[in-house]
Amino acid sequence: MEQSFFKELIHYNKPKESPFRLLGAGLCMISVLFTGYLTHQLAISSFGSLGIFTFLYYQRLPLKQLIMRLSIVGSFLTVANFLGMLSTHAAWTAPIVVAIVGFLGRFFFRLYGIAKPGPFFIVMVTAMGASTKIPLTRIPVMSGYFFIGVLFSLLVATILHFVENKPLPAIEARKTVKSRIDDDPAVVIDSLLYSGFLFFAVYLSMSLQLKNPYWLVVSCASILQADNLRAMAHRNVQRIFGTIIGLAIAAFLLYLPLSVFETLLIITVLFVTVEYFVKRNYAIAQFFTTPMALMLSMLVRQQYLYSLIQFRFLGIVLGSLLGLLAGWLMSTSLEFYNRKFHSN
């Protein structure tokens, strides 16, 4: 019997995963945060914390294949963030850059079966780069800080590979790009639609002059990450509700007289908590995503808290609604495309 929409919203999953992965994620975050703290360069903490998203693509694979996979993902993330930062010096290019990166991410991640989080973090770091005005001469330095997070991810992933004792999966036979497209011909139109909506999301966020415009784009990409239209509707409600609770938690934490050391510890705990809940219930994960994001935002540049909370809520609501609309249009378009494709 089909569950009601409400029951699906509050359903709590119980995935089977190694606790070592959570420890690995926490080790990545705390390593990069305290590298910045000990070197008195909090920019390393801020940008390096984005590079450790590489670790979230960890899978139980032969070591050579695992390092190759994470190296490609980490390089993709670094280049995407670099291009995003570069686009701020010609504002009209930002929607184009995010759309192109989104297309390439969606296309290759789907084509090569790179499971969730898929291209989401690629889009996120590009949009964040496009929202961060940095002098041209400093952009390579910031990319270097970003890559420190990638290096920590590779190191922790290598350690985790030897700690986990699960059997390795069979290695799949190599396929050419052409043969993969033949197996999944809808990947091209799907990627084009995805990038088109990201283009519009960036354009809208810049037009509305939101404080941190990437929040709208990231919310849109997050909704489109779901597997089908019903799951997108779930994620839309869960993201908005979870953000409301998360903003209340953030307001409480950010008003506390925390030292930098204490702030870094709390960010690490929040990151591990998000990773624990994101596969179990997306709404609960959002309780902790919002305070973590706001604390990282205020780590390097101090901003007016009330304004920051206001703009984050607005960006997430608009982005989530846009993502749901985009999901419906994509589902409808692909349905007609598949009908025509199968009829031939």
* CA–CA separation, 108 and 259 (whole Å): 42
pLDDT tens-digit readout, 158-199: 999 888 877 776 666 677 778 888 788 788 888 899 999 999
Is 113 within the bounds of a domain? yes
Is 8 within the bounds of a domain? no
* CA–CA separation, 91 and 209 (whole Å): 12
pLDDT tens-digit readout, 53-106: 999 999 888 888 899 999 999 999 999 999 999 998 988 899 999 999 999 999
pLDDT band at 343 (very low <50, low <70, confident <90, very high): very low
Is 10 within the bounds of a domain? no
| 254-259, long-range: CB < 8 A, 24+ apart | 254/291, 254/294, 254/295, 254/298, 254/305, 255/305
Who contacts 110 (Cβ-Cβ below 8 Å, separation ≥6)? 118, 184, 187, 190, 191
The first and second tokens of residue 316, run together, are 């997430």
**Residue appearing with tokens 């990319």:** 143
Task: Decide if pLDDT at 334 tops 60.
Answer: yes
Is 106 within the bounds of a domain? yes
Q: Which domain holds residue 264?
A: 17-343
DSSP string, 62-96: -HHHHHHHHHHHHHHHHHHHHHHHHHTTSGGGHHH
Query: What's the pLDDT score for residue 13?
Result: 74
Within 10 angstroms of residue 289's Cβ, the number of other Cβ atoms is: 24
DSSP string, 205-245: HHHTT-SSTHHHHHHHHHHHTSSSHHHHHHHHHHHHHHHHH
Annotate 213-226 with b (16+ C-beta within 10 A) or e (fewer): bbbbbbbbbbbbbb
Work out how many domains the chain is built from and give that number: 1
* CA–CA separation, 229 and 341 (whole Å): 21
Report which of residues 311 and 243 the model is more confident about: 243
pLDDT band at 1 (very low <50, low <70, confident <90, very high): very low
Report which of 173, 204, 198 is spatially closest to residue 105, judged by C-alpha positions: 198
The pLDDT mean for the chain works out to 85
Is 11 within the bounds of a domain? no
